[in-house]
Amino acid sequence: MEPLHGPIKDYAWGSRSAIAELQGRPVPSAAPEAELWLGAHPGAPAAVERDGGRIPLTEVLAAEPVRWLGRPVLDRFGLRLPFLLKVLAAAAPLSLQAHPDAEQARVGHAAEQARSGGHRNYVDPFHKPELLVALGPMEALCGFRDPAASARALAALGVPQLRPVLDALAAGPAGLAEAVRRLLEWPTAERAGLVAAARAAQGPDADLVARLAEAYPADPGVLVALLLNRVRLAAGEAIWMPAGNLHAYLRGTGVEVMAASDNVLRGGLTPKHVDVAELLRVLRFEVLDRPVVAPQEVADGVLTWPVPVDDFALHRVTVGGGRREVTLAVPGPRVVLCTGGRVTVTDGVAPVTLGSGRAAVGPAAGGSLTVTGAGETYIASTGQV
């Protein structure tokens, strides 16, 4: 194992305390700290320590691909780390967004590559399913809820202009696409008035409307939010976000693991590029009945959240008290993040001691991971390739 140093993204919605507190740095931080990236994504690769300096993990993998990635990962994914581990810290709502499936990403990236305007939606040819595990209380919007519940929430706002949206929702799941399209394509000149009218109303979701409208007073995404499941997570609970699932984080801190891609299709609640037509094309207009994923205990001190992809797997290992050592066999390369306490992690080659907010990386050629000490770690690896 080797120490791994990840860059921090300073997106405006980030927290000035969460990641700094996790790493034991002064609070508040100088700028918003939204995401800590721990992987080899070319957009912001983490670095390892070599010869008194640091070199990008991408260069380490390229220099010794078989040792670091292993033949099964190379054959399945090519010369790249197929997963990205993050700490996400939201102090304000993120954009309404979804991610393409593998075929949509491949075709979309190739089409944008063939044009001279560069990549706006498909910056790479890979899908981006995601799993987020809360480190404390979190709030998110995740997947479409029962259209009847959405219709009741919109009707409670008492805004007559929303009648066509309510009529679409009356058709049940079959009307979700039309309801979303009508809201996201609302005439620009009328958007501020629509959001203002909704904000002035009282209803079961008035607090959510007010919070989103304060940040985005002319964005119809404020009302699209009422079509989604509003999820409140406790520490250890997770959200699984497959391709085509419309979602947005509202606030809180969590550990997120995903396929190593940066393809994001946004529909609103953001100053960034929005492409409503492309978002509507990739969305899955299905009701998501159970957006929250509970952890499964696979061994004493080891939890996991099974997902139906082989790009990544995530385990949480807790040691301390009467459990001073845990050994875990996971395939391929692995990234370890300590989220509390102090632990030592070894793969049979070299041990690394980690404090809270610190990370390490190990090659596929290493053996099983053994965690000792007193603390909590998250271990990202590939799934069974």
The predicted-structure confidence for 343-360, as pLDDT tens digits, reads as follows: 999 999 899 999 999 999
The pLDDT score that the predictor gives to residue 118 is 67
Give the amino acid at 4. Answer: L
The predicted-structure confidence for 284-305, as pLDDT tens digits, reads as follows: 999 998 889 889 999 999 999 9
The pLDDT score that the predictor gives to residue 290 is 86
Q: Name the active-site residue from 251, 266, 316, 358.
A: 266
Widest distance between CA atoms in the chain: 67
Q: Measured between alpha carbons, how far is residue 58 from residues 44, 65, 84, 100, 374 in Å?
A: 10, 10, 12, 24, 31
Burial (Cβ within 10 Å: 0-12, 13-18, ≥19) of residue 295: middle
Q: Residue 320 gets which letter from DSSP?
A: B
Q: What DSSP element (H or E) covers 341?
A: strand 334-346
The pLDDT score that the predictor gives to residue 220 is 95
Mean pLDDT, consecutive 10-residue segments, the chain of 385 residues? 97 97 97 98 94 95 97 96 98 95 94 77 93 97 96 95 97 96 96 96 90 95 97 96 95 98 94 92 93 93 95 97 93 96 95 98 96 98 88
- For 91, other C-beta atoms within 10 Å of its C-beta total 17
Residues ≥6 apart with Cβ < 8 Å to 166: 151, 154, 155
d(CA 238, CA 250): 15
The pLDDT score that the predictor gives to residue 385 is 72
d(CA 147, CA 172): 5
Burial 71-85 (b: 16+ CB within 10 A, else e): eebbebbeebbbbbb
266 part of the active site: yes
Q: What is the pTM of this model?
A: 0.95
Closest CA to 378 of 139, 131, 68: 131
d(CA 31, CA 21): 14
